[in-house]
Amino acid sequence: DYAGNHNRVTDDFASKSGTSMAAPYVAGASVLLREAMQFVGMTNITQATIYNHMRATADTIWDAATATNYKRLNLGNAIDALIPDDEYGSSIVDAFNLGTLNGSQQRTGMFNTLSDKDYFRFTASASGTVSFTATLSHGQSCSWLASGLSGWASGPGNQTYNLNVVAGQTYTLGLEASGLSYFTLDIVADSNTPAFTDW
């Protein structure tokens, strides 16, 4: 409203240009890039490291008035170039196949975007319970995407999901985090079959 008629309606816009306008955007972008670099384990991050990465991932813009190419910051490209691709399926259809579960196994990965969800498919080798325990980095909590499954979540931030399974049946379970984080997923299959002693 300050740019126009001061009628207390935020419908007035103005266009500004120059380094005083660009500086806060570049400064904010550099902070986000430093955080992304630290998140993926980079060390010895300097101003030059950030600047060079900004230029390497920037858009090239042709200015007809000066007949010169210029670089324009593209923060999405810059961050995407740092964060690894998702290693597990992000929907029920493309769920990562764990195979036939028997005993225990462990998977590691990361939630590389705020909307990332990881889905896992498996076949139960025996009737019983399969427990999925997620440990997330950076103080994040998780949510289980277990629509229509017979199970229950427990622990702080629902870190463990216990699923009742029937031998030979295939199940799909999803996981999402409250923010960018690495995760370790411990999976344990316990059979309900009683121990048999041959006398």
DSSP code per residue over the chain:
-TTTT-SS-S-------SHHHHHHHHHHHHHHHHHHHHHTT--S--HHHHHHHHHHTPEEEEETTTTEEEEE--HHHHHHHHSPPP-SBSSSTT-EEEEEE-SEEEEEEEE-STT-EEEEEEEESSSEEEEEEEEESTT--EEEE-TT-SEEEESGGG-EEEEEE-TT-EEEEEEEESSSEEEEEEEEEEE-PPP----
Q: What is the pTM of this model?
A: 0.71
Tens of each residue's pLDDT in the chain, 199 residues: 666 677 778 777 777 788 888 899 999 999 999 999 998 889 999 999 999 999 999 999 999 999 999 999 999 999 989 988 888 888 889 999 999 998 899 999 999 888 889 999 999 999 999 999 999 988 888 889 887 788 777 656 668 999 999 999 999 999 999 888 899 999 999 876 555 556 6
